[in-house]
Amino acid sequence: MLFTILSIWLIDKIGRKMLLIIGSSVMAICLIGTGFLFGMNEINGALVLVFLLVYVAAFAISFGTVAYVIISEVFPTYIRGLAASVATFFLYVGQFLVAQFFPVLISSVGSSATFYVFAFFSILSLIFTIFVVPETKGKSLEEIENANKKVAN
């Protein structure tokens, strides 16, 4: 909860894109570390706990809050309501799929591989954020819409 509140404070100070970059980077590192620890013969439970708590904090400060702000800003005015609803629906579908398939992956490929799979997706989200997600900090909705029109042309 503290990192969600921190995210709300930081979102206009360092920007949405930077929070997503920092969050996905830290999440990937934590997931790789957790996967590595689960692959060892003797698991260090305290270190696994640290990695998971840092992961949760990184998610809360980035994708847990910033995704909703980005969704509300990037779509043109004439379709914003519908597009934001559809995007939020798919965000919830993704969250549902993670919750449903996490235990399946754990039992089928093991803990270590499961965390590496999720680390791979965190790295993909980092790449997507760097190359696709626009920075909307300090811009009006009209400025964002005009910038998106320029990119589309």
Q: What does the pLDDT look like over 32-49, one tens digit per residue? A: 999 999 999 888 999 999
Whether 31 is covered by a domain: the verdict is no
Whether 122 is covered by a domain: the verdict is yes
Whether 101 is covered by a domain: the verdict is yes
Whether 26 is covered by a domain: the verdict is no
Provide the CATH number for the domain around residue 100: 1.20.1250.20
Q: How many distinct structural domains can be found in the chain?
A: 1
How far is 123 from 131, CA to CA, in rounded Å? 12
Q: What does the pLDDT look like over 80-108, one tens digit per residue? A: 899 999 999 999 999 999 999 999 999 99
How far is 17 from 14, CA to CA, in rounded Å? 8
| pLDDT value for 152 | 60
| pLDDT value for 135 | 83
Query: Which residue range(s) make up the domain with 127?
Result: 2-7+45-145
Residue 58 · residue 30 · CB < 8 Å: yes
Is 70 exceeded by the pLDDT of residue 144?
A: no
Query: What are 90's two structure tokens?
Result: 């798919």
Cα dist from 75 to 22, 35, 71, 87, 104, whole Å: 24, 37, 7, 10, 35
Whether 104 is covered by a domain: the verdict is yes
